[in-house]
Amino acid sequence: MNAYGHGRRAKTATHERIDAPVGVLSGGASSPADNMPSENGPTRLPKSILEDAGLPVPNTYATITRPEEVESAWSTLRDLQTFVLKPIGATPAWKAVVLKKAKSGGALEWRTPAGRILSERDMVRLMENAVSGMSPTAADGILAEYRCTIDDMFYQIYPRGLSYVRIITYCGDPKFALARIPTDASDGRATLQDGALCAGIDMATGRMHPAHDRDGLLAEHPDTYSSIEGVRIWRWDRLLDLSAQAADAISMDYLHVETVIDAYRGPLVMEVSGHPDLEVPSITEGDVYRTLSGL
């Protein structure tokens, strides 16, 4: 039994390293969205503005908004070894699909981390249905993007899904930060409603506080028994710099900058939103009020 009320035994994780989807946000929204900021909905900075500001973002291989665009996009995508399909905008019924090319006999096929196998015909149908408007799961459009690989630090904590670092800025300065860490209960997604963990981050040191789950505080991950509390986020100073650069790219005082750490490309900016949603108990509204009222 540890100090936070949860018993933990040492356990060695022997899972094969896997890649993970990018941009899976709470509530099924995708990120980064290429839609322009809206006064009526979440204000997301278009990806092109992030790129123009010199911020590292996942490469976009194709954008599909109409069924007739699928054939042209697929001529590019079929040559890639791996990529992720993501909806444009908030579409709870259409979540990111991570795909990796394989061969079965002489035919090409694409596999998801969960083991689903899609033929070339299945892939084309998937994309057409996603943008046809005839399906209840149809999206405004889909992006085919670079697939991130979990960095070593977060891989040691949980190897079966991509963790995110969210940094809240006020008047251009990083003020709060938290990490969202997937679990088996969340099916490898960093979605808090599905059971992912959330850990506040000390802004001065980049070290994580105990994580929160539905039952309370955790010093270790419930599936891998790897430490969370006290672990320093890799490339923390770089993440802070990126969040400040992102804040400079848009004239809004209060923002959240969603980032990931890719094993090959390092820190990447996934989303900048003008409507930060702290959505966690580790950073309370009282904390925000006390900090901002003192500025």
pLDDT tens by residue, 189-205: 898 888 999 999 999 99
For residue 230, the 8-state DSSP code is T
Is pLDDT above 90 for 222?
yes
Is pLDDT above 60 for 14?
no
Q: What integer pLDDT is reported at residue 206 of this predicted model?
A: 97
Contact 151, 234 (CB under 8 A): yes
Measured CA to CA, the distance from residue 23 to residue 252 in angstroms comes to: 22
Q: How confident is the model at residue 8 (pLDDT cuts 50, 70, 90)?
A: very low
Write 80-84 long-range contacts (CB < 8 A, 24+): 82/19, 82/147, 83/144, 83/145, 83/146, 83/147, 84/21, 84/22, 84/23, 84/144, 84/145, 84/146, 84/147
Q: What integer pLDDT is reported at residue 90 of this predicted model?
A: 59
Contact 121, 58 (CB under 8 A): no
Write down all domains in the chain, each with its CATH number in brackets: 59-145 (no CATH), 152-293 (3.30.470.20)
Contact 226, 156 (CB under 8 A): yes
Percent helix, strand, coil in the chain, to 5, is: 20, 30, 50
How many other C-beta atoms can be found within 10 angstroms of the C-beta atom of residue 25?
27
Q: What integer pLDDT is reported at residue 290 of this predicted model?
A: 56
Task: Please compute the mean of the pLDDT values over residues 216-239 and round it to a whole number.
Answer: 96
Residue whose C-alpha is closest to residue 43's, from 289, 291, 277 = 277
